[in-house]
Amino acid sequence: MEMKVRLEKDEDGMWVATCPSLPGCISQGKSQGEATKNIKKAIKLHIRTLAEDGLPIFGSRGVKEMRIEVHV
């Protein structure tokens, strides 16, 4: 199974990894590689926990991300 993952460097220099299709699934690492390794473990645990609790693994498929222009 392939999952989209987002890596972002925070203000402390840590790499934060999130999985947009699994809200609340987040991990981090000192390097991109470490963050990627950690988010893989987090995704497995997140999916396993949802399944054990009888909850749907993936939420609404009707979510759309987009960029909009805002003038201030």
Q: What are φ and ψ of residue 61, in 5° steps?
A: -85, -5
Q: What is the pLDDT of residue 68?
A: 82
Locate 27 and state its tokens. 């991990």
**Could you tell me where the beta strands, DSSP code E, fall in 6-66?**
6-9, 15-18, 26-29
Q: 9, 4, 12: which is closest to 65 by C-alpha?
A: 4
Q: Where are the domains of the chain?
A: 6-52
* 8-59: pLDDT as tens digits: 999 999 999 999 889 899 999 999 999 999 999 999 999 999 999 988 877 6
> What's the whole-model pTM score?
0.76
Q: What is the end-to-end Cα distance of the chain in Å, rounded?
A: 42
